[in-house]
Structure 1
Amino acid sequence: MTHTEVAEPHTAGLLDEITVAAASGRAIPDAATGETIGHAPVHTVDDLNAAIDAARAAQPAWAALSHAERSRILHRAADEIEAHAEELAQIIAREQGKPLNGPGARFEAGGCAAWVRQAADTVLEPEVLFEAEGTRSELHYAPLGVVGAIGPWNWPALIAIWQIAPSLRMGNTVVTKPSEYTPLSVLAVAALLNRHLPPGVLTVVSGGRDVGEALAAHPGLDKIMFTGSTATGRRIVESSAHNLARLTLELGGNDAGIVLPGTDVPAIAQNLFWGIFINTGQTCAALKRLYVHDSLYDDVVQALAELAETTPMGPGTDEGSALGPLSTRQQFDVVSRLVEEARAAGARVVTGGKPAPELGAHFYRPTVVADITDGVGLVDEEQFGPVIPVIRYSDLEDAVARANASAQGLGASVWSADVDEALAVAARLEAGTVWINQHGTLNPQVPFGGVKGSGYGMEFGREGLKAVSAPKVITR
């Protein structure tokens, strides 16, 4: 499962730009080796206040530019990201741990440019609401002002862009706070953007929890965008209440998949595997629990186990790796605990189920768990790691009910050779997105968001632009 060919890091230029001296910064480790990559600045609440003041001062001039001019600037910024995509990918691979290849760090770096371009090119024209002789009402979209963005550690640069690009496109300025675990990736992509943006339009505040809490409650913000846990999302709702900042919350997901009888297992196996194990399972919209009909149960378990055993795992900078480490010790401990609890409850660990210490401290082998059911933590909680519980069902009504029993509803999927049957099941699943014979695939033109405990508000496409705008009706 290991490879030894390691890519030479090409990050010195960009790292030199974003890092600070050891005496004044915080050491950021390589997720696979623990070696220090560089030192991130340690910003304070005072720095946050100054950034928001600068963003508020810069916002009127930025908003005064035409949509076409802001789009031209964003296209130049996307060109900059593409020109330095390898440097950015190397930073992501080392800091976050995802492999360079496949749906990994190079994919993330390329996605940053793609999402900036899509935000720049998306048209949001005024909508005619009512028209009659002598009167006309139109719905326009104006900038909100200053957007505060708080990002996660699992797709740090890409999710930061999901928040930043549409906000800038609509004439807002942005102050963004990255995860303490992955600040370098966000500092890097922001540095590339800022080579083309006016001063104050985009600022990264690289601080601790106190800075995040102050941002969520700051009276100088008009919008808060957050991607992370449901528990933190609830605290942000409470903190933002006093100034009624608009919110977009993309929170956790315990995504369910349902495999219907008659499905061609070999035909879906690869899509199914990567819907589960993309980014070593550390994706909000990854498949977290899989319900499989009796008639296919053994075949699906075997297919997933074979792929888990043959998919190479190793450091992110290893060109042969397809799966990387868990990004943090905390997440490693969560995954280990949930697997051990499942084992103690009588579940069968088909493959994996243990760390891979020979690869590094935070590596956990891709794991398939069978003969498990609801009520066990591995099924009921979001594991956020390279583990899939496979649950047997015989009655479709029961499977749908169990899939919907979660307090979360980010994504779900239905797997079937009969698309019409799959669509009928998809319509009954309580999730913001339901995929057919795929899971977790995203498109910058297609809105994305959750229901229930997975948050509210939409990102991407026209709906994403509307979410960072103030609707204004003009009647004449």
Structure 2
Amino acid sequence: MNFMLTIDGQPVSTGAMLDVINPADETIVAKCPQGNREIVDAAVAAARRAFPQWSAAPDAERVAKLLEIADLIQNHSKELAELITLEQGKPQSGPGANQELKGAAAWTRATASLTLPEQIIQDDAAGKILVRRKPVGVVGSITPWNWPLLIAVWHIMPALRVGCTVVIKPSPFTPLSTLRLIELMSKVLPPGVINAVTGGPEVGAHLTTHPNVDKIVFTGSITTGKQIMRGGAATLKRMTLELGGNDAGIILPGTRIEPLLEKLFWSCFVNAGQTCAALKRLYVHADQYEEVVRNFADYCATIPVGNGMDPKHLIGPLTNRMQFEKVAGYVEDAQARGARIVLGGRKPPGPGFFYPLTIIADATHDMLVVTEEQFGPALPIVKYTTVDEAIAYANALEVGLGGSVWGNDPQVAAELAGRLECGTAWVNQHGALHPLAPFGGVKCSGIGVEFGVDGLKEYTTAQVISIAR
């Protein structure tokens, strides 16, 4: 299959080509065009030309288009899910590529259902004041490699819903599923409403600093998010930034662990741990520590890891060599500082970026695997003696995307979860998202929120109409 960029409703290629690598065997899946500054300029110009007509379209028309796109996603789900497995690695089974496609269709439909009606502030003999939400303009979207198609949907659909036009740049590690999605969308949307470019940091920097881009939505690292903020300052661009997590989970003293093992596993290791809102450091009371470590390691040892195209595998490889080496380095650092590797910790023989499910006991806050977001299938388990100590540990880092508290009494756990410094606090689960509930971080985990009415507003500006009578 040939993969092309989409600009102004037309397929576009370039002289340079990019190899897309299958992380399961390190072979080349496909080649796609490599974008450049001129390609970005053309895409932004197309989005700017399309904006007046699209933003003025009747609300019902935009709703109908989103529902049509949701049907396209559903009807092409097998093809798109296979592309995700081949370029990103997540399995066809379990909460993997097919689940990503189900989520993409569901989020599109949920976004279509949202409305931003006028708000009347005053309506009396003196006058009338109302507030309208207007689309911000051209949106530049930069998506990561961990959930390439689902996060593209999270960025694109609310923008289209309110009348914005979009230029999206997927990660160079995983461009294929996004390029195919945009190709499909371009068949039902007016030319220029949705455009796709590719490229590395230089292309991304040009998009985020482009004077004709009104808003940037970015999901990725804290370091890159700060660079984007600096780049957008010259034109005071609107920003939605969903950045790193390193989420903490706290198991309360005396918690019955066996009923929670499956939930706990997927909270930590969905997508081989490559999820911003995954549980990445687990705090367990000293009285129960060895029991939890042993039981959880035993459970993890039963989960099959391998090539995601084989339906028996539930966990796939890391997406690229860079991430594999990062995770391996963090585990080696923990071992050097006295940690016990209870499970995993060594790469299996053969090709691919497979790292085994790894449980790290006796983890402490001087280890990189605790203080840095490892973004892989290696879980440090930290011992605590009081709940106040555990909460202080959980809140000690510069990040605050999510956190969770696990216990026998959900009400008690919920009260303690409210003390966590994070955008979402879960009880007896972690990472569960809802398309109508706002999602975002505090501290260095980001700015703004996604999903629901609050997320929809991020793609608009407020205009007050004040009428004297």
TM-score between both structures, scaled by the size of structure 2: 0.96
What does residue 475 of structure 1 align with?
A: 466
CA offsets 1:222-254 (integer angstroms, 9 cap, x no match): 100000000000000000000001000000111
For 2:325, the equivalent position in structure 1 comes to 333
Q: In the alignment, which residue of structure 2 is the partner of 1:415?
A: 406
The alpha carbon displacement at 1:23 in A equals 7.3
Query: What per-residue deviation string (whole Å, max 9, x for no partner) do you get for residues 123-174 of structure 1?
Result: 2212233444433322211111100001100001110110000000000000
Q: How does 1:80-95 map to 2 (within 5 A)?
A: 80-95=72-87
Instruction: Name 1:368's counterpart in structure 2.
Output: 359
Within 5 A, what are the aligned runs for 1:85-124? 85-124=77-116
Tell me the distance in 2 between the aligned counterparts of 1:474 and 1:22.
Answer: 47
Instruction: Identify which of 23, 29, 40 aligns with 1:37.
Output: 29
Q: 2 CA distance for matches of 1:423 and 1:409?
A: 17
Tell me, in whole angstroms, the C-alpha distance in 1 between the residues paired with 2:112 and 2:410: 34
Show the 5 A alignment for 1:134-283: 134-283=126-275
- Percent identity reads 47
Question: 2:35, 2:327 → 1: CA distance?
Answer: 31
Larger mean Cα displacement after TM superposition, 303-312 or 336-345 = 303-312
Aligned to 1:8: none
The separation in 2 between residues aligned to 1:21 and 1:175, in whole angstroms, is 16
Counterpart code for 2:282: L
Question: Deviations along 1:68-113, whole A, 9 cap, x unmatched?
Answer: 1101011111111110000000000010000011110001112111
- 2:326 aligns to what SS in structure 1? helix
Partners of 2:60 and 2:108 lie apart in 1 by 14
Structure 2 residue 96 is matched with structure 1 residue 128: no
Structure 1 residue 192: Cα displacement: 1.9
Which amino acid is 1:216 matched to? T
Per-residue deviation, residues 185-209 of structure 1 (Å, max 9, x unmatched): 2112212222211110000111121
Residue 457 of structure 1 corresponds to which residue in structure 2? 448
Matched residue of 2:65: which SS?
helix
Question: Within the alignment, does 1:293 sit opposite 2:285 as a pair?
Answer: yes
1:21-100 matches, cutoff 5 A: 24-100=16-92
Displacement after TM superposition at 1:17 (Å): 9.6
CA–CA distance in structure 1, aligned partners of residues 58 and 122 of structure 2: 26
Query: How far 1:299 sits from its partner (Å)?
Result: 2.2
Confirm or deny: 8 A CA contact 1:20 1:40 kept in the other structure. no
SS of the residue aligned with 2:288?
helix
Question: Which residue does the alignment assign to 1:5?
Answer: none
- What amino acid sits opposite 1:267 in the alignment? P
Within the candidate set 385, 401, 407, 2:376 is matched to 385
Structure 2 unaligned regions, length at least 5? none
Aligned partners of 2:288, 2:115: CA distance in 1, in Å? 46
Q: Which amino acid aligns with 2:463?
A: K
Equivalent residue for 1:428, pick from 419, 430, 435: 419
Amino acid at match of 1:470: T
Contact 1:409/1:453 (<8 A) preserved:
yes
| Structure 1 residue runs of 4 or more that deviate by more than 3 Å after TM superposition | 14-24, 130-134
Cα deviation, residue 424, structure 1: 1.4
Partner of 1:441: 432
Taking the aligned partners of 1:23 and 1:131, their CA distance within structure 2 comes to 60
- Whichever residue aligns with residue 206 of structure 1, its letter is T
CA RMSD of aligned residues (A): 1.6
Q: Compare 336-345 and 349-358 and name the one that shifted more.
A: 349-358
1:345 matches 2:343: no
Deviates more, 1:419-428 or 1:324-333: 419-428
Indicate conservation of the 8 Å contact 1:77/1:195, yes or no: no
- TM-score (structure 1 length as normaliser): 0.94
| Contact kept? 1:166, 1:464, Cα under 8 Å | yes
Check conservation: 2:14, 2:34, Cα contact below 8 A.
no
Letter in 2 for 1:402: Y
3-state SS of paired residue (2:301): helix
CA distance in 1, matches of 2:12, 2:122: 56
Q: 1:124 to 1:22 in 2, by over 3 A?
A: closer
1:304: Cα distance to partner? 1.7
Aligned residue runs from structure 1 range 386-401, under 5 A: 386-401=377-392
Q: Is the partner of 1:310 in helix, strand or coil?
A: coil
**Cα gap change, 1:293 to 1:88, in 2 (>3 Å):** same
Is 237-246 or 417-426 further displaced after alignment? 417-426
Q: Is the alpha carbon distance of 1:15 and 1:175 closer, same or farther for their aligned partners in structure 2, counting shifts above 3 Å?
A: closer
Query: What SS class does the counterpart of residue 315 from structure 2 fall into?
Result: coil
Report deviation, 1:331: 0.5
